[in-house]
Structure 1
């Protein structure tokens, strides 16, 4: 019998090497994230594999699963511990080796396998590990599945059977690259900085774009799991500023930055100015809705209000609806509504047919961005950006807040603003026009300025975003209004970055 996981074990002890350790908070809303060695050990990962295999059996899904791993110094060992658990639970494992996350999603279709488990901590700092999972392509697990998985693993309620099998798919990336490049090269010569932050995308992104005729200027594309320059996260200003400098130095048409597991793409224009992903989404929605009548889009609550107010989208008959932040939520909602695409401010973009298969792939996003430029001869990326109505937007800002406290804090913040609206109180000097509480609270004032507070789904943090269509001053006032409420809660710590 496999023992029940412990919440904590002391390293360098017999117990640490002989018992599974799994901290409960690692089971998050739609994937799993732990500090490796501190919150989960290899036997804990093995227990996770047993639990996942057991749950797949409960779901009456064929027990076959694609498994891959990202480029961190410990990811391969974690993957093999996970595989040992999956095999013990009777799963046939299809190992695609080193991969970006969307390559694992692609493998579900290409190999006709229903389930996936991708070992990755995405953009989290070194020391973190995690697994993105699904059993119904192109969807990934949501809260219901993660809750059940947590129950099985922590309760050691495994159903083990000896029917598992293992197959390694040699050189699987070639199949993924061939799928992405089975189209004509762009008619326009595009010069692009391709930045990967020394993460996994560096092994694939440059050659995909080169095959499509892009003049690639590589930036930090060498694989180095120490991430020596900056964390591969295209929402972080440090990475965006490095891309800016390279774009200006090489007079590039665009800068494209990929996160650690390759499912997101950040953009810098030809002037070196970063374009936040939600604005890129509006630009892509304009391009796509010009080709497809009455296009429907799903956008997350962190995203710009332009999806609703942009006159070009309105004129082209496009409609957008806001939904919960998180790749699993957005993917599922985009699929349920049959929307043409879903756009998330973090850079997760979900393209349904004819553009994609419904999952988030940073390279598909990069190709769509280059295609948008191809559709606009004589125009630069900055021209397309400047054609949008002007708004002042913040980056995503994340004050520290423990996993055990963050959801309770957000509930209190939601109640604060619901009470304020009911009483007619003003926020940043203006009445509240509306509240969206599908994911935290998005407070919109009468002049269209808005602020959002929600709990991060994958780190011990809150998330704060603000925007104003009026002025930078109003944007900053909205931030002060949101932050002043957070400061009443001592559990909320310092921000990772601020405006």
Structure 2
């Protein structure tokens, strides 16, 4: 009988080495994230593996699963603890070794395996660990599966399945890279900065881009799990500014930045200007809908309003649906609607056939961006960006807010704006034109300026984004208006970055 996990254990004690510790808040909406040795220990990870194996069996799915791990100093040990739990539950485990997350997703198709459990904390700071899971390719778990997994693990509803086994797939990255690069080479010789923040993508991104015909300028591609320069997150301005400097120094055509587990791609144009991922999505949607008429796209509620108002997309018959933020939500909605692609402001892009298999892969996104430039001879990345209608957009801004209270704060903010709309009140000097509440609240006023507040799905934070099609001043007005509301809640702390 495997013991029931405890929510807290004191490190460097007998109990810590003899019992599983799993903090309940680590089970997020669509994946799992914990501070290693503070919120989960290795026996807790083993319990997670046993619980995941039990859930797979309970859902009637074949107990066969792909695992891999990202490049952090402790990820391999966490993966092996997870594997021991999966095998105890009766799973056949296919280990692809050190990997970017989309390599594990690819292996589900390539090895014909239904399930996946990728050990990664993505772009979270060192100290964090986590697992991205799925049992129905190309989808990953959503709230229903995560809630049931939490129940199984915390209540120790384990079943000793027996018959578990393990297979390591040697040199697996070569198969992934061959699949990505099995395409015609670019006609245009693009000079590309490939920035990886010393994360896992550094082992793969440069050679993939070289293989499709790019001249590659590597930036922080040496693997170093201490992340000595900055966290590998292409939404953070520190990483974007490092890419900008390299683009300008080398006179590159584009800078591409990959997050810690390689499922997202950030973009800097040839002038050194950062292009937020939702604007990159509009550019790609223009390119793709010119080839595929009546194309449908899915975008998250953090994304620019241009997906609805862009005259080129309208003329090409493109249709766009806004949906919940989060890679699992977006992946699922893109799959359900059979959309050509889904675009998330964080940089998770989901390409269905003929561009991809429906999962998020930063290298597939990078290839799509290079091919878009290849189809626009004589035009630079800045030209394509400047052809979009002008809007002023903020980066994603995240004030600290504890996991235990953040959803309550967001519920209160939603009710505030709903009441304000009913009363005919104003936000930043204008009446509310529209409220979208599928994921937090997106408030749009009469001139098209909008603000979003939602709870982060994987960190103890809120998420705030603002945009205006009118002016930079109106963007700041919207931020000030929403920040006044947030400051009425003492649980909301300091921002990671602001405009």
- TM-score, normalised to structure 1, is 1.00
Q: Secondary structure at the match of 2:444?
A: strand
Task: Give, in angstroms, the shift of residue 184 of structure 1.
Answer: 1.1
Q: Secondary structure at the match of 2:149?
A: helix
Q: Which residue of the partner structure matches residue 123 of structure 1?
A: 123
Q: How far apart, CA to CA, are the structure 2 residues paired with 1:162 and 1:321?
A: 45
Q: Secondary structure at the match of 2:202?
A: helix
Matches within 5 A, 1:7-22: 7-22=7-22
Q: How far apart, CA to CA, are the structure 2 residues paired with 1:483 and 1:44?
A: 38
Task: Give, in angstroms, the shift of residue 497 of structure 1.
Answer: 0.2
Task: Give, in angstroms, the shift of residue 162 of structure 1.
Answer: 1.7
Q: Which residue of the partner structure matches residue 167 of structure 2?
A: 167
Q: Which residue of the partner structure matches residue 470 of structure 1?
A: 470
Please say if 1:55 is aligned against 2:55.
Answer: yes
Q: Which residue of the partner structure matches residue 402 of structure 2?
A: 402
Q: Which residue of the partner structure matches residue 487 of structure 1?
A: 487
Q: Which residue of the partner structure matches residue 497 of structure 1?
A: 497
Q: Which residue of the partner structure matches residue 425 of structure 2?
A: 425
Task: Give, in angstroms, the shift of residue 210 of structure 1.
Answer: 0.3
Q: Which residue of the partner structure matches residue 243 of structure 1?
A: 243
Q: Which residue of the partner structure matches residue 229 of structure 2?
A: 229
Deviations 1:87-139 (A, max 9, x none): 00000000000000000000000000000000000000000000000000000
Runs (5+) with no aligned partner, structure 1:
none
Q: How far apart, CA to CA, are the structure 1 residues paired with 2:289 and 2:156?
A: 50
Q: How far apart, CA to CA, are the structure 2 residues paired with 1:296 and 1:212?
A: 27
Task: Give, in angstroms, the shift of residue 471 of structure 1.
Answer: 0.1
Task: Give, in angstroms, the shift of residue 444 of structure 1.
Answer: 0.1
Task: Give, in angstroms, the shift of residue 161 of structure 1.
Answer: 2.1
Q: Secondary structure at the match of 2:147?
A: helix
Please say if 1:324 is aligned against 2:330.
Answer: no
Matches within 5 A, 1:81-480: 81-480=81-480
Q: How far apart, CA to CA, are the structure 1 residues paired with 2:209 and 2:276?
A: 21
Task: Give, in angstroms, the shift of residue 6 of structure 1.
Answer: 0.3
Q: Secondary structure at the match of 2:93?
A: strand
Q: Which residue of the partner structure matches residue 66 of structure 2?
A: 66
Q: Which residue of the partner structure matches residue 30 of structure 1?
A: 30
Task: Give, in angstroms, the shift of residue 415 of structure 1.
Answer: 0.2
Deviations 1:187-239 (A, max 9, x none): 00000000000000000000001011100000000000000000000000000
Q: How far apart, CA to CA, are the structure 1 residues paired with 2:161 and 2:112?
A: 23
Q: How far apart, CA to CA, are the structure 2 residues paired with 1:334 and 1:422?
A: 33
Task: Give, in angstroms, the shift of residue 364 of structure 1.
Answer: 0.1
Runs (5+) with no aligned partner, structure 2:
none
Q: How far apart, CA to CA, are the structure 2 residues paired with 1:61 and 1:161?
A: 14
Q: How far apart, CA to CA, are the structure 2 residues paired with 1:346 and 1:463?
A: 11
Q: Secondary structure at the match of 2:194?
A: strand
Q: Secondary structure at the match of 2:109?
A: helix
Q: How far apart, CA to CA, are the structure 1 residues paired with 2:455 and 2:161?
A: 39
Q: Secondary structure at the match of 1:463?
A: strand
Q: Secondary structure at the match of 1:447?
A: coil
Q: How far apart, CA to CA, are the structure 2 residues paired with 1:299 and 1:308?
A: 10
Q: How far apart, CA to CA, are the structure 2 residues paired with 1:359 and 1:482?
A: 33
Q: How far apart, CA to CA, are the structure 1 residues paired with 2:497 and 2:167?
A: 44
Task: Give, in angstroms, the shift of residue 277 of structure 1.
Answer: 0.1
Task: Give, in angstroms, the shift of residue 242 of structure 1.
Answer: 0.1
Q: How far apart, CA to CA, are the structure 2 residues paired with 1:211 and 1:161?
A: 44
Task: Give, in angstroms, the shift of residue 473 of structure 1.
Answer: 0.1
Q: How far apart, CA to CA, are the structure 2 residues paired with 1:98 and 1:238?
A: 26
Q: How far apart, CA to CA, are the structure 2 residues paired with 1:160 and 1:333?
A: 35
Q: How far apart, CA to CA, are the structure 2 residues paired with 1:69 and 1:215?
A: 29
Q: How far apart, CA to CA, are the structure 2 residues paired with 1:10 and 1:252?
A: 51
Q: How far apart, CA to CA, are the structure 2 residues paired with 1:439 and 1:157?
A: 31
Q: How far apart, CA to CA, are the structure 2 residues paired with 1:485 and 1:90?
A: 51
Deviations 1:443-467 (A, max 9, x none): 0000000000000000000000000
Q: How far apart, CA to CA, are the structure 2 residues paired with 1:91 and 1:37?
A: 26
- TM-score, normalised to structure 2, is 1.00
Q: Secondary structure at the match of 1:368?
A: helix
Deviations 1:249-289 (A, max 9, x none): 00000000000000000000000000000000000000000
